[in-house]
Amino acid sequence: MQIPSRLIEAAVEEFAKLPGIGKKTALRLVLHLMESPEERSFNLSENLSKARRDIKHCQRCYTLSDEDLCTICENPLRDQNTICVVEGLRDVLAVENTLQYRGLYHVLGGVIAPIQRIGPEDLTIDALVRRIPAEQTKEVILALSPTMEGDTTAFYLTRKLKPFGIKITTIARGIPLGGELEYADELTLGRSIATRTIYDQQQ
């Protein structure tokens, strides 16, 4: 589709670089903004640039944060001796949403993925290792995606953390709540049988 305006085309191209936004959707968004009051476009631009310019990584857990310490690390009511290791901020939000976890986090910034040339030194693993003795951590919960890369990272972390003699756990894999057995893939079902729990432990 040829757009008869270079101004619109330039904006559409930038929108179309976003994940899940194709050129048609980008055009729809840009035209919507062109037909809306000017402040809509300015507010969007302003808030986005400001966020990108001022956002920091929490110096303790490396999540995206407005301040040097994120609101979770700053909160004295959180359990200071448990660290939940996740890939990114989105996982922090997902765990927070469950309202089941009151400890701290550690954001790796990705997982070990040799194909994409992401090695352990590209992640915040050293910082995590330093936190364990400094914060007298008692338990590290690995909450990584159940992919090859996630499992590799979990294995690497376990080896690094073992010398500290702390409890290392991983979130349970199994049949999702509301999921039907017959539709579960055999790997998940197999794992959920291997890691079965005593019945009255379940809620």
Instruction: Output 50 or 162, the one with its CB closest to its own copies.
Output: 50
CB nearer to its own copies: give 43 or 169: 43
Stretch that binds its own copies, among 46-54, 78-86, 146-154, 185-193 (CB under 8 A): 46-54
**And the tokens for 81?**
């001796």
Question: What tokens does 141 get?
Answer: 């919960």
Q: Which stretch binds its own copies (CB under 8 A): 48-56, 117-125, 132-140, 154-162?
A: 48-56
Site for its own copies in 63-102 (CB under 8 A): 63-66, 70-72, 88-90, 92-93, 96-97
116 binds its own copies (CB under 8 A): no
CB of 187 to its own copies, least distance (A): 27
Three-class secondary structure assignment of 48-110: HHHHHHHCEECCCCCCEECCCCCHHHHCCCCCCCEEEEECCHHHHHHHHHHCCCCCEEEECCC
Report the residue number, 127 or 168, with the smaller CB distance to its own copies: 127
- CB closer to its own copies out of 45 and 81: 45
- Of the candidate spans 12-20, 134-142, 169-177, 192-200, the one that interacts with its own copies by CB under 8 A turns out to be 12-20
CA angle 172, 175, 180 (to 5 degrees): 170
Q: Check if the beta carbon of residue 84 is closer than 8 Å to that of residue 143.
A: yes
Dihedral sign for Cα atoms in the order 24, 28, 29, 33: positive
φ and ψ of 192, to 5 deg: -70, -25
Residues that bind its own copies (CB under 8 A): 1-8, 10-11, 13-15, 17-21, 25, 27-35, 38, 40-55, 63-66, 70-72, 88-90, 92-93, 96-97
